[in-house]
Structure formats: C-alpha cells, structure tokens
Amino acid sequence: MGQLSSVQLFLLDMDGTFYLDATPLPGALDFLDALRSKNVPFAFLTNNSSKGKQDYLKKLAAMNVFVTEKEMLTSGDATLSFLEKENFSKELLLIGTPSLEAQFADAGYLLDSAEPKAVVLGFDTTLTYEKLTRLCNAVRAGLPYIATHPDFNCPVEGGYIPDIGGVITLVKACTGREPDAIIGKPNRFIAEAAASRFGVALPDICMVGDRLYTDIALGRCGVKTALVYTGEATPELYAASDEAATWTFGGIKDMIAEL
C-alpha cells in the first residue's frame, strides 16, 4: 500500500471532497497548509465543467484559498487539450454554460457555426430543450461527439443536482450513440495531463476524492487513490463496489496526520 508521505503530487477533487457549494469541508484548509509546509505539490482536479478555470480560482479565493492556474485543472481544460492534440476543427457545437463557452471561445473555437464539425457536451446547468434538441440532432448526424466527464450527480449543500451523465444517457436513448471520448475522471487522459504538467510519474500521484466511479476508478490508470466519505460515497457503497482505493478516510482532515 505504501505511505501517504511518499506521494509526490496530490490531485484534489473539489465538490464533496474539499468543499460543498461555497463552504470548505472540515480540515480542508489545514490540509493545504500541511502540503505547502512539506513542499508537496498539489492541484485541484474537478470533473465539473460548468465553470471555467478562472471561476474556480475566484471561488477558491472567496474561501481564502489562493492557488495558481497551474494548480487548477478542470475537465474543460483537459478537453481543450484533447481537442488540440487530436487536431479537431475549431467549429464546434458546445453544450455548456456561458462560463465554459467563454473558455472555449478564448481558446479560439467558433461556437456559433451553422455547420459545426464536432460536438462537445459539458455540464450545462443552463440546459434548455432547444439545446438538447440541437445536441441530439448533431449526434444523430454522426458528428464526432466528446463529453467532458461522466458524472451522474454533482454534490451540493443539502443533496445533489443532476450532472452530465444523465444527459449522456438521454442522448444515447434518443440517438443510439455514446460519446466517442469522455475526457474527465476516470479516464487516463486527464491523469496523464496532470502528470505531464507537474513532471511526475502516475504511480507517484494520489487522487483524493469522494466518488467511486470517477475519483477512485482513476486508480486503474496507475495512480494511488484516497477515498473520503464527505460526498457521494459511503462505507456501505464502497464495500459493495468493485473499486479499490489505496486508502480510505472519513474526510480530508484525517489525512493530515498521515503526511
């Protein structure tokens, strides 16, 4: 199993792991202080593509958490890297929030083309029936179809809100197609993007998160994983799952003593 102190890069999930809505979870700030005191690199890694990087930096700053752009990686960021690596057309149908649209537009993508060459599905909290119809029509027409991440629920204070996974399922029911690629956790592409950014090997990384089928399943790529019970997963769900975390903790605060 190894020791938590051997980890060279911590990837921290956000919703349900580090905070809920706008409130840091107990010990979250202390955990960052402990990493910094030991000069251990970390980065926030979230599948939530409803906000761009700058929005997350502002949200963290409002909690007195100040990090650099290098220390923030979203599934939206990783999707842009994927599109560039695979030489996708700049003409896209993007189903996403205004924040995600701005991020893609800043990267040079044309989002209002009459004849898009590919479709990207993000976590769109502004989803309308018109958007859903355009999405299904584009997928049905056979355009390359990319989703930023697979999550079914996004944890918020008081419960959950539907995430992109439900939309992927709906689109499959209507069109018969699943995404050609899903970029975010638990897929290897996002782990390799983080490893490359910090110059570390996958086995020296620890993904800290609350979700079995994304955060902990990322361990199949070769990274270590730490499951916390402050979000979606419970000990009962973990016991019944096929995923195996390297470590389990009640919350991020319990990890401090193991550093």
CATH code for the domain in which residue 143 is found: 3.40.50.1000
Residues 176 and 81 in one domain: yes
- 36 in a structural domain: yes
- 166 in a structural domain: yes
In the prediction, which pLDDT does 156 show?
76
Residues 230 and 153 in one domain: no
As a whole number, mean pLDDT of residues 230-256 equals 96
> What range defines the domain where residue 250 resides?
4-47+189-258
- 66 in a structural domain: no
Residues 173 and 84 in one domain: yes
Pick from 26, 13, 9: which is nearest to 251 by CA?
26
Residue range 162-191, pLDDT digits in tens = 999 999 999 999 999 999 999 999 999 899
Residue range 146-167, pLDDT digits in tens = 999 998 988 777 888 999 999 9
Residues 83 and 165 in one domain: yes
Domain count, the chain: 2
Q: Is the predicted pLDDT of residue 247 greater than 90, yes or no?
A: yes
Residues 136 and 207 in one domain: no
In the prediction, which pLDDT does 2 show?
62
Higher-pLDDT residue of 21, 113 = 113
Residues 38 and 81 in one domain: no
Mark which of 182, 208, 225 sits at the end of a domain.
182
pTM of the model: 0.85
Residues 205 and 236 in one domain: yes
Q: Are 49 and 104 in contact (CB under 8 A)?
A: no
- 59 in a structural domain: no
- 62 in a structural domain: no
Mark which of 182, 199, 215 sits at the end of a domain.
182
Residues 163 and 105 in one domain: yes
Residues 176 and 199 in one domain: no
In the prediction, which pLDDT does 205 show?
98
Q: DSSP per residue over 12-72, as a string? A: E--BTTTEETTEEPTTHHHHHHHHHHTT--EEEEE---SS-HHHHHHHHHHTT----GGGE
- 63 in a structural domain: no
Q: Are 56 and 14 in contact (CB under 8 A)?
A: yes
Interior angle at CA 230, CA 226 and CA 236, nearest 5: 80
Residues 161 and 214 in one domain: no
- 155 in a structural domain: yes
Q: Which residue has the tokens 């102190």?
A: 5
Beta strands in the chain (DSSP E): 9-12, 19-20, 23-24, 42-46, 72-74, 92-95, 118-121, 145-147, 153-156, 159-162, 181-182, 205-209, 224-228, 247-249
Mark which of 182, 199, 218 sits at the end of a domain.
182
Q: Are 231 and 155 in contact (CB under 8 A)?
A: yes
Residues 81 and 177 in one domain: yes
DSSP-derived letter for residue 83 is: H
Residues 176 and 195 in one domain: no
* pLDDT confidence band for 13 (50 / 70 / 90): very high
- 53 in a structural domain: no
Residues linked to residue 123 through DSSP beta bridges, in sequence order? none
Q: Is the predicted pLDDT of residue 34 greater than 90, yes or no?
A: yes
Residue range 113-148, pLDDT digits in tens = 899 999 999 999 999 999 999 999 999 999 999 999
Pick from 218, 222, 227, 208: which is nearest to 34 by CA?
208
User: In the predicted model, what is the mean pLDDT of the chain?
Assistant: 94
Half-sphere exposure of residue 68: CA atoms within 13 angstroms, side-chain side: 6
Q: Is the predicted pLDDT of residue 1 greater than 60, yes or no?
A: no
